[in-house]
Amino acid sequence: MRHLRLALTGIAFCAAVLAAHAHGPTPQKVEESIEISAPPDKVWEIAKEFAKIGDWHPLVEKSEGTGGNVAGATRTVTLKSGGALEDGLDDFNEAEKSYAYRLAKENIEAFPVSFYSAELSLKPNGDGTSAKWIGRFYRADTGNFPSETQDDATAIAAMSNFLSEGLKGLKAKAEGK
Amino acid sequence: MQRRALLTATFALLLVAVAWGGESRGLVFVSNQDDATVSVIDTEKDDVVATIPVAFAPASITADRDGRHLYLTHPERGEVSVIDVGERRVVSSFKVGGTPFGIVVSHDGTLFIADWNNDTVTAVDARTGKRLREVVVGRSPAGIITSPGGALVIVANRESDSISILNASTFALVATIPVGRAPFALTISPDAQHVYVANVQSADVSVISTQTLQPVASVKVGPMPYGLATSRDGSRLLVANQSAGTVSLLDTRDMKVFATHKVGRFPEGLAIEPQGRKAYVANWFSGDVSVLDIVTGAEIKRIKTGSGSRALVAVRVPASAHAEPMP
């Protein structure tokens, strides 16, 4: 048991070291939102499962994770376009129907962003729900002379697309379409 | 027209009265990275009283000892802007090359600039912009501070999980000390006994003794701590938890979190106004600044600043043109 724990600690440490890639000093932001014709409680039941983003996000092939919906939980998100992203849950607020997470391991071939943190939140709007997804992130190449495939515009486009398509998927699932 | 003249006269009289009273007031300067501006907040009214246009993508900001000049890094331009506090405008700028990020002025007027991509701290003469020395530190140096007495310069090496301590006069590397994962912001107690380092990835604060140059404690805080400040009496430590959109207050005697309050979205830089009664936190995503009561930590006011508000510095400005240092 003790050996297993030591081994696991070792693995976690290696993962942490691998994840420690430098990002640049100028973060970018995106903000996407959508109106959903379903009550917040119903939308939240779908959206809150951190490891189950694959159930509703149209760009996600599959997702799996450990730790449930508690800060410190992790998920691996395999993209339909290829490659996988690893996220860590930072803050989970049941009362406010919001959670924040960040990229734990970058994969700039799959997703041209070197680091992101993001927050998904729900607010009631009449009988329905306003869902908002915001992100803070850095381009893939954080040097001062990035190529056209690793610059701010590419990162903004990728992030914006991922969040807006995700919200459309959440809406479709919650509205039962 | 007459009314306006009367108002002007009254205002002038008021100014004179303030000057005679020997009163000073506080200004907080906030860098807005997306807007390429610096907002000026008067801490008496807690309003933006001026907005200074600057070059593209300003990041860190610092003030010199007498509070007359501010220095602002532009990582993507390899440049530093100099703002005259009295004139409230950029009066000069100089190229330092690389990716200048964190910046601080030592007591003798030397700028110490952390270069994010070169893993160095560059010493530059603040008056001439002349490069004096380059010291290799850890990977991706970010936040940088001086000790209250001015003898030391301390920098957080974000990708090496360490801090480097330099001698401010000789530029010699005194020590490299391990901290938590991804240290970004740091601050030092007013009595110079402890350095506090906010570790973004491990969500904790490392406490380093300046006597032994060893870590003495590690304290869990909120997710993604990106900003730190101690109260002017040193009794409390404030931490901006970026992912949760909160600021936590710790009692520095037992290092326990005793209050956590909501602020704007994605808070980052923290500063304490000259009187020591209020703290200011720059909310990067929402483009505003939260004003907090230093005793309770509760938000008193939220001030719209500009897009990408990131770093801030407090300066004491007497009613006359003369300004005094804010450590």
Backbone angles phi, psi at B189, to 5 degrees: -65, 150
pLDDT at position A56 is 98
pLDDT at position A146 is 86
Asked whether the CA dihedral A13, A14, A19, A22 is positive or negative, the reply is: positive
pLDDT at position A25 is 67
Number of domains into which chain A is organized: 1
pLDDT at position A34 is 98
User: Which amino acid, residue A28?
Assistant: Q
Whole-number Å distance between alpha carbons of A140 and B314: 34
Q: Is B161 on the interface with A (CB under 8 A)?
A: yes
Q: Do A22 and B117 touch (CB under 8 A)?
A: yes
Q: Which of A41, A16, A49, A36 is nearest to A169 (CA)?
A: A36
Residue B20 burial (C-beta neighbours within 10 Å; 0-12, 13-18, 19+): exposed
Q: What does the pLDDT average to over B263-277? A: 96
Chain A nearest CA to B285, separation (Å): 7
- A-side interface with B, Cβ within 8 Å? 16, 19-22, 24-27, 29, 31, 71, 90-91, 100-102, 117, 119, 134, 136, 142-144
Residues in chain B: 327
Chain A nearest CA to B183, separation (Å): 11
pLDDT at B282 over 70: yes
Q: What does the pLDDT average to over B304-320? A: 91
Q: Which residues of chain A have pLDDT under 50?
A: 1-2, 4-22
Q: Which domain holds residue A95?
A: 23-174
Candidates A20, A26, A91; nearest CB to B244: A91
Q: Is B275 on the interface with A (CB under 8 A)?
A: no
Tell me if ipTM is over 0.90. Answer: no
Annotate A61-123 with DSSP letters as a single string. Answer: EEEEEESTTSTT-EEEEEETTS-EEEEEEEEEETTTTEEEEEEEE--TTTSSEEEEEEEEEEE
Host H or E run for residue B316:
strand B309-318
Q: What does the pLDDT average to over B162-176? A: 97
- Percent pLDDT > 90 in chain B is 88
CATH of the domain at A154: 3.30.530.20
Q: Which residues of B43-77 are buried (b: 16+ CB within 10 A; e: fewer)?
A: beebebeebbebeebbbbbbbbbebbbbbbbbbbb
Nearest CA in chain A to B138: A22
pLDDT at position A2 is 46
Q: B250-259: per-residue pLDDT in tens?
A: 999 999 999 9
Whole-number Å distance between alpha carbons of B222 and B248: 7
Coil, strand, or helix at residue A38?
coil
For chain B, list the domains and their CATH numbers. Answer: 102-309 (2.130.10.10)
pLDDT at B10 over 70: no
Structural domain contains residue A119: yes
Q: Which of B261, B49, B243, B188 is nearest to A103 (CA)?
A: B243
Structural domain contains residue A9: no
Structural domain contains residue A10: no
Q: A67-112: per-residue pLDDT in tens?
A: 999 999 999 999 999 999 999 999 999 999 999 999 998 899 999 9
Higher pLDDT, A44 or B12: A44
> Which chain B residues contact residue A29 at CB under 8 A?
34, 284-285, 308
Q: Are B261 and B298 in contact, with CB atoms under 8 Å apart?
A: yes
pLDDT at B236 over 80: yes
Structural domain contains residue A1: no
pLDDT at B4 over 60: no
pTM to 2 decimal places: 0.88
pLDDT at position A18 is 35
Q: Do A27 and B284 touch (CB under 8 A)?
A: yes
